[in-house]
Every structure is written in structure tokens, then in C-alpha cells.
């Protein structure tokens, strides 16, 4: 495959640069943001992006927290729950392919407004679902709307920040992923217990409309904003213009950088989706938690994940400051994070709740540290200073998901390979087979492929 030059990466964006799955926070320097001449109003815009991302993850996580109770109330099976999660993931992937172009065409203000309206309405309408199929349609609509969050946010950062601050601004708004994942277990169980599960979807969905009112009132492009000083505008626009060129997919695919990024996302993003949707069920089944006690363990896990996203950026930034080459520093940080994930294989064997939480938290933190660095690795530059990630976005359609088994100390690896096969659906089938005391066909095939004996 072809080789490409290695300029300093920059996450400014055509809206096609989208976050997918997992929560991924870019590596950021530890220095405080420079106000630049004329003020800090650009950080007000960044705060709006942070709150939108927080709402995005609150709405996303509601079903994971309530899954066990909804399984009892609605009567869906593990397979059906896996299909519901798969419906969200598939719609999210399709939405990513479209969101970038739509944001570029209509602008961040309108694009963001449409995206949060779609996902907020979808979140609220989930309260009306009474079957697994209806939940699947509602979650697909949620995924389609939520896919616009990160393309819009990164496009906004590109409009409102000079290049030297874009990584930091992206890291700030992206911290909302873990904040949302912390707020959800603090609020959703209380709402469901006291008001009913339907209100958990209604109230969390309604928050988006409060943000929408602030966004429509506050946002303008920098050159049109009445509250932005001329000196701060000059600071924001201090970079030279990027060349007006856009690389087509076929010219990106042969390059090693594109394939390395795509494969890295292909292999690791499903892990975050797995944590988001299946860990609450695991803790409730394995350690006897219920809706009133699930909150603290989940909060601990996502607090560690938040710290991991910062630590991943700190490691690579520190190595770079000590004279390491940029790519060597980031790859070293990614290796450290990858090794830190491996103790998760013992989580099914520990009897203590908080020992299990610690292992999961370390894996989640390491995953976020990995993601912090992979997003700042070299990616082919495209039009208007953006990054062409449509091809990479397709990785969400064909992931591999690793699921920690819960019986006889055996780790079940649910393998879902091939375009259009979502690992979440396979996880549901593995879980259903486990509940019957059997192995799913996917695990049986994997054992044969690896030359492993069937369990007795």
C-alpha cells in the first residue's frame, strides 16, 4: 500500500470527521487554553458543544441502564435486546455516512439543530414502545439523529478555533461523553423507580430541546457574531486557508494510514459499545444488583474512563515534550493502554463486586486512552481543512466484539465479521445461549476455527 507524508495531525473538520462509538477523546496538551487577543467567547461555543455531547450520551445510555427491567416488563429476550442495540449501531453508522455532507452543505447551526431534534424526539417516543420491534425502530431513529453530534461539533470547532487550539477544544467537548455516562446512572434509576420507566425516556429526551433553544439563540459563524470582538475574530482566523481539495474514497483506501486507522477503529470501538450496553446487565446478573444499586458501580467505571481519556493524552504529550517523535510517542501511549486492557479477562472469575468494577474500570479507562491517541494519528487531509472519514465511519457496520463470558471461568468471544453484521446482535445470541447453559453457534464455530476442544 502507498505511503503518505506525516504532517502534524489536526482534528479540524469537515463534518465528515465523526466520532463513533465509543466514547474517543483526542489527546490534548495539559497547558491551559490561551485566551488569545480580545477575549474568550469561543469557549462559550465550546461549552455548548460539551453540553450537547453530554445530552447525547445520557440519551444513549438510558436503555442500557433499564435493559434488565424492560426485559421483565416488555418480555424481550437477550437475542432481541442484542438486535435492539444493533439497530442503533447500524442507524448510527448510516447516519455518519450522511451527516458530514449535510453539515457541510447546511452549516453547523442548522445541522446541529436538526440532529438534536431528531434524537430528542426519538428518545421521548421510546416511551411509547411496547415490543422489541418498536424499541428497535425507536433506537434506530435515535442512532440516526445522534450520528450528527460529532460531525457538527468538530465542524464548529474548525470554524471557531485556530488550529493550535482545536485539539484542546475537541477534548473539552468530547469529555461530555463520560460526563453523560456518569449523569445517566445518577438520574435514570431514580426517575424509573419514582415515576416509571417511560418518564426516564421522556425527561432525558426533553433536555435536548432546552439546549436547542440556547443553540439557536447563541450560535453564529464567528464573522457574523455580534459578541465577538474584532481582535478575537482575527485570532480565530489567523491560520492560512487550506487548499480547496477533497480526496475521493478510492484515493484514500490504498494508503497505510487510512487502513491502519480503519482497522484500529474496527477492532476497538465495539468494545466501548459493549461496555455501554451490556455491563449493567453483567453486574446485575453476576453480582445481584438491582435498579436502585446499579448507579455507584457505573459511575465509578465512567469516572475512571474519564481519567483514562485524559491520561492517554497526557502520556503522549509528555513524551513529545521530552523529545520523542510525535508518532512514536502516540503509538507508545497506545501500546501502554492496550496492555492495560488485558486484565479484563479475569472479570468473570472474581467474586467481589468492586474487584469486578475495578477490572472493568481499568479496561474502560485504557480504551479511552487508546482512543485519545488514535484520533490524533495521521489521517489523510481533505477539503476545507477537513478530514475525510466516511470510509472509516463504515467500520461501525462490521465490528468484532469481545464479550467476557460468565460461566465456568470461560471467556466467550463473540465474533461477528463481514460488512453489515453487527456484533451487538451476536452478543445477544451468545447471552441467550449462556442463559440456556449452552454455547451459541458463533462460539462453537470460533472454537473449531481456533482448534479448541468443546467444553465438557
How far apart (Å, rounded) are the C-alpha atoms in residues 425 and 131? Answer: 17
- pLDDT attached to residue 339: 95
Cα–Cα dist 294/321, whole Å: 41
**Whole-number Cα distances in Å, 25 to 22, 258, 269:** 9, 19, 12
DSSP structural state of residue 44: H
Quick one: pLDDT at residue 170? 75
Q: Give the CA dihedral 162, 164, 169, 171, nearest 10 degrees.
A: 150
Residues 6+ apart with CB under 8 A from 132: 74, 76, 77, 80, 81, 83, 84
pLDDT in tens, 140-165: 999 999 999 988 988 898 888 887 77
User: How far, in Å, CA of 126 to CA of 181, rounded?
Assistant: 19
Query: Is 313 in contact with 373 (CB distance < 8 Å)?
Result: yes
pLDDT at position 168: 73
Domains and CATH numbers, the chain: 41-450 (1.20.1250.20)
- Measured between alpha carbons, how far is 282 from 89 in angstroms, rounded to an integer? 20
Residue corresponding to grid cell 469481545: 402
Question: What's this model's pTM, rounded to 2 decimal places?
Answer: 0.71
Using one digit for the tens of pLDDT, what is the confidence trace for 162-192? 877 776 787 778 778 888 988 999 999 999 9
Burial of 77 (C-beta count, 10 Å sphere; 0-12/13-18/19+): middle
Look at the chain and count its residues: 456
The C-alpha atoms of residue 101 and residue 76 are separated, in whole angstroms, by 37
Q: What is the pLDDT of residue 59?
A: 94
Q: How far is CA 136 from CA 18, 61, 141, in A?
A: 23, 15, 9
Contact 94, 114 (CB under 8 A): no
Residuewise pLDDT in 10s, the chain (456 residues):
444 444 444 443 444 444 444 444 443 433 444 445 567 889 999 999 999 999 999 999 999 999 989 998 999 888 888 889 889 988 988 888 888 788 888 888 999 999 999 999 999 999 999 999 999 999 999 999 999 998 898 889 888 888 777 767 877 787 788 889 889 999 999 999 999 999 999 999 999 999 999 999 999 999 989 888 888 888 888 877 666 556 666 776 777 777 777 777 777 877 777 777 788 889 988 899 999 899 999 999 989 988 888 788 788 878 888 899 878 888 899 999 999 999 999 998 999 999 999 999 999 999 888 887 776 664 333 333 334 444 444 444 333 332 222 222 222 223 233 333 345 555 555 555 555 555 555 555 545 544 445 555
| pLDDT score, position 389 | 42
Amino acid at each position: 500500500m502507498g505511503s503518505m507524508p506525516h504532517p502534524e495531525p489536526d482534528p479540524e473538520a469537515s463534518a465528515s470527521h465523526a466520532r463513533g462509538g465509543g466514547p474517543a477523546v483526542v489527546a490534548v496538551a495539559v497547558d491551559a487554553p490561551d485566551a488569545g487577543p480580545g477575549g474568550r467567547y469561543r469557549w462559550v461555543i465550546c461549552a455548548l458543544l460539551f453540553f450537547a455531547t453530554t445530552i447525547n450520551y445520557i440519551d444513549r445510555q438510558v436503555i442500557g441502564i433499564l435493559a434488565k427491567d424492560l426485559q421483565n416488563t416488555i418480555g424481550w429476550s437477550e437475542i432481541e435486546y442484542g438486535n435492539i442495540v444493533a439497530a442503533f449501531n447500524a442507524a448510527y453508522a448510516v447516519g455518519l455516512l450522511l451527516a458530514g455532507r449535510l453539515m457541510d452543505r447546511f452549516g453547523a447551526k442548522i445541522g446541529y439543530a436538526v440532529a438534536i431534534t431528531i434524537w430528542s424526539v426519538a428518545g421521548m417516543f421510546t416511551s411509547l414502545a411496547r415490543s422489541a420491534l418498536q424499541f428497535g425502530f425507536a433506537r434506530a431513529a435515535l442512532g440516526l439523529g445522534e450520528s450528527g453530534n460529532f460531525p457538527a461539533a468538530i465542524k464548529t470547532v474548525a470554524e471557531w478555533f485556530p488550529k493550535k487550539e482545536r485539539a484542546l477544544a475537541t477534548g473539552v467537548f468530547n469529555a461530555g461523553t463520560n460526563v453523560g455516562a456518569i449523569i445517566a446512572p445518577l438520574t435514570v434509576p431514580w426517575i424509573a423507580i419514582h415515576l416509571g420507566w417511560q418518564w426516564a425516556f421522556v425527561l432525558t429526551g426533553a433536555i435536548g430541546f432546552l439546549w436547542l433553544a440556547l443553540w439557536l439563540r447563541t450560535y453564529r459563524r464567528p464573522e457574523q457574531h455580534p459578541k465577538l470582538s474584532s481582535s478575537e475574530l482575527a485570532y480565530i482566523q489567523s491560520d492560512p486557508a487550506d487548499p480547496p481539495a477533497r480526496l475521493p474514497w478510492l484515493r484514500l483506501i490504498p494508503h497505510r494510514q487510512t487502513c491502519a486507522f480503519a482497522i484500529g477503529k474496527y477492532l476497538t470501538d465495539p468494545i466501548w459499545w459493549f461496555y455501554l450496553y451490556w455491563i449493567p446487565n453483567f453486574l446485575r446478573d453476576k453480582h445481584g444488583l438491582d435498579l436502585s444499586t446499579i448507579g455507584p458501580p457505573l459511575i465509578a467505571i465512567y469516572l475512571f474512563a474519564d481519567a483514562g481519556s485524559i491520561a492517554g493524552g497526557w502520556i503522549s504529550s509528555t513524551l513529545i515534550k521530552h523529545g520523542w517523535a510525535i508518532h512514536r510517542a502516540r503509538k507508545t501511549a497506545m501500546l501502554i493502554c492496550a496492555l492495560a486492557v488485558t486484565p479484563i479477562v479475569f472479570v468473570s472469575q472474581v467474586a467481589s463486586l468492586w474487584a469486578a468494577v475495578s477490572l472493568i474500570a481499568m479496561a474502560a479507562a485504557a480504551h479511552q486512552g487508546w482512543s485519545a491517541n488514535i484520533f490524533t494519528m495521521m489521517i489523510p487531509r481533505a477539503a476545507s481543512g477537513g478530514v475525510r472519514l466516511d470510509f472509516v465511519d463504515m467500520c461501525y457496520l462490521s465490528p468484532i466484539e469481545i464479550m467476557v463470558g460468565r460461566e465456568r471461568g470461560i471467556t466467550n468471544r463473540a465474533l461477528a465479521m463481514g460488512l453489515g453484521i453487527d456484533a451487538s446482535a451476536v452478543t445477544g445470541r451468545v447471552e441467550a445461549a449462556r442463559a440456556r447453559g449452552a454455547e451459541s453457534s458463533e462460539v462453537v464455530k470460533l472454537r473449531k476455527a481456533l482448534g479448541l476442544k468443546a467444553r465438557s
